[in-house]
Structure 1
Amino acid sequence: MPSTESYKFFNHSTCEFYPCHDMSAADLNCLFCFCPLYRLGDACGGNFAYIDGANGERVKDCSACTLPHRRENYDYIMGRLAE
C-alpha cells in the first residue's frame, strides 16, 4: 500500500479548458476529466440535468457537476466502477 494518496489527485493547470468548473482551481481534480460515471445515467450520483439536444433527444448535461473533480470522491468513483 502506498504511503501517500497522491495518486488520487491530478491537476492539469496548463489545459486549455482549465478551470472547467466553478470551483477552486487549487482543488480541481483533473484525474477523471471525462467522468467514468456518465454511462450510469440517472444512477451516477452527480449533479446533472437533462436538456433537449439539437435533434430533440434528451442529453445528459453534467456541466454543473463537480463530483469527479473533488479530491474526496476518488474512493466513491472507484467503488462505483467496481460494481
Structure 2
Amino acid sequence: MKTQTENFKFFSHKDCEFFPCHKVKNPDDFNCLFCYCPLYALGDKCGGNFKYTENGIKDCSDCMIPHTRKAFDYITAHFDQIKELAQKK
C-alpha cells in the first residue's frame, strides 16, 4: 500500500514518564513505536546490541534499533522470523 507520508513509522511519546528510556543525543529522533521490541523473541538473532546477564536474561538496554527513525522497516523485515516462532508446530 502506497501512502503520501510515512508518519505511521514514527511515534514519540514525550509525555511518557520514562521518556526517553535510553540515553540519546537527540530526543526528537527517539521512536517510541516499538516500546517493547518485537525482536526480543529472536534471541541472539535479533541483530541488536544486547548482552546476556549472568542469569541468562537478555539485556537490551544498550540497543537503539527499535528507537530509531528507521526502526519500522528493520523490524517489519523480521516479521517472518517472529511469525515462525509463534506458529504451532
TM-score by length of 1: 0.90
Q: Distance in 2 between matches of 1:73 and 1:34?
A: 12
The 5 A counterparts of 1:35-74 are: 35-52=37-54, 57-74=55-72
1:21-65 CA deviation, whole Å, 9 max, x = no partner?
Answer: 11121000000000000000000010001112xxxx311000010
* Sequence identity percentage: 53
Partner of 1:4: 5
Q: Distance in 2 between matches of 1:6 and 1:46?
A: 24
| More strand per residue | 1
TM-score by length of 2: 0.84
- Which residue type is aligned with residue 23 of structure 2? D
Q: Which runs of 5+ in 2 are unaligned?
A: 82-89
Q: CA RMSD in A?
A: 0.9
Q: Which runs of 5+ in 1 are unaligned?
A: none
Q: How many residues align?
A: 79
Partner of 2:31: 29
